[in-house]
Amino acid sequence: MLIIVSATIQLALGFNSDQTSTNQNLLDQFSHQAGNFFPVMVIFIGPVFEEFIFRGFFFNTFFYKNTNLNKWLGILFSGLIFGYVHDPGLTKYILVYWALGCVLAWVYTSTRDLRYSILSHMIFNALGFV
């Protein structure tokens, strides 16, 4: 639900213009080369690797203390790094990826189970194919 609310706000703020993010441009190029394997990469493989890196590794390395401050700093910083990796050009789209990264980090910190953030990430990516 948080991802859908975030996407709705972003559309209302004008993020649906003709300009696309660096990440989307690269995905568009890759889709032509990958063919039928592209949806598998985007929906299944990408989210698994990204969640292990940004939530599993990042949180367990830098934000392992179980305090409320640590949790929210981890959510904000992992979201920011997630956003930067997806939009290193620092365009307005970094906000989109930062919001998504924060939601996925919140899912992980709330459950302490990567399966839920992986599943949420998969669902979000699958929406792009609907």
Domain that holds residue 85: 2-8+37-127
Locate all alpha helices (DSSP H) within 1-130, ordered by sequence. 2-12, 22-34, 38-40, 46-51, 58-62, 68-86, 94-111, 114-127
Residue 72 in domain: yes
Kindly state whether residue 31 falls inside one of the protein's structural domains.
Answer: no
In a domain, 22, yes or no: no
Is the pTM above the cut of 0.85?
no
Nearest 10 degrees: CA dihedral of 58, 64, 68, 69? Answer: -70
Nearest to 22 by CA among 90, 108, 103: 90
pLDDT (tens, 9 = 90+) of the chain, 130 residues, equals 665 666 666 555 565 555 666 666 667 666 767 778 888 888 999 999 999 999 999 988 998 888 999 999 999 999 999 999 988 888 788 888 899 999 999 999 999 999 999 999 999 889 887 7
For residue 24, being part of any structural domain is answered with no
Neighbours of 30 (CB within 10 A): 13
Q: Confirm whether 14 is domain-assigned.
A: no
- Can you read off the two tokens belonging to residue 28? 């568009």
State the total domains in the chain.
Answer: 1
The answer as to whether 23 is a domain residue is no
Q: Is residue 21 part of a domain?
A: no
Does residue 115 form part of some domain?
Answer: yes
